[in-house]
Amino acid sequence: MQNLTKRRRITLATNCILLALVFFVFAVGFLPAKIAPIFRMDASVYYNGNLASSKVSLMFNVYEGEGEIEDILSILREKSVKATFFMGGCFAALHEETVRKIVLEGHELANHGYFHKQHDKLSLQDNIMEIRACESVLESICGIKPHLFAPPSGAYSRTTVEAAKELGYLTVMWTKDTIDWRDSSPSVVFSRATKNPKGGDLILMHPKAVTVSVLPQIIDFYIGKGLRPVTVSENIIG
């Protein structure tokens, strides 16, 4: 009788453990996508700069839009602010003069991989190859080795972060995503770029016509709030 009771207790405990595991797996599967990267608190992954500062950063991820880049540079020049351009290597290789102009006008050049791959699905070696290939192109064009890396589509894993660290990079995400590559409404893009403004914000944009149309208003908005647009490096390091 005692053995039977003991077996029942063991069975009950085992079932409880299995039930807890099933619940955990189920819950993790339905977590919001934005929570998915479990490495968000890694010291080398930045979703914002210094929250106690009056600095914000305009960051442009580039794989297209040569004409829009010219317009963006003109606006930044007129407003006397600096930004960071995360350059795709294959774009940079075909538009060397545009890359040089970005640097000559005092903006920051950063690494965005070479072929816009999903870095969270790449091996350590393939992550290194993508980052290094972009680095080589940028160095050959303007003699600058970037130290910031933004994974295309924001897709990264621990392996991606390790690859970036091995090559001397900090991994940069964003605080505010305008999703200007998808949505062409100026009011929507402006709202996403300026919602709940605070020091340390990293504002993600792309060289799109809609971005060009609202960029002056975005810059004026932040300056009006007493926040100064600077490069990402100055925001998170300087």
How do residues 62-115 score in pLDDT, each as one tens digit?
999 999 999 999 999 999 999 999 999 999 999 999 999 999 999 999 999 999
Is the domain spanning 38-236 CATH 3.40.50.300? The answer is no
CA–CA gap between residue 73 and residue 105 (Å, rounded): 8
For residue 30, what pLDDT band results from cuts at 50, 70 and 90? Answer: very low
According to the model, what pLDDT value does residue 40 have? 46
Candidates 148, 146, 153; CA nearest to 177 is 153
Delimit the domains of the chain by residue range.
2-30, 38-236
AA identity, residue 151: P
CB-CB contact of 168 with 129 (8 Å): no
Pairing state between β 108-111 and 84-87:
parallel
- Write down the pTM of the prediction: 0.82
| Tokens of residue 212, six digits | 């060009």
Candidates 105, 39, 49; CA nearest to 72 is 105
DSSP 8-state code for residue 151 = -
For residue 238, what pLDDT band results from cuts at 50, 70 and 90? Answer: low
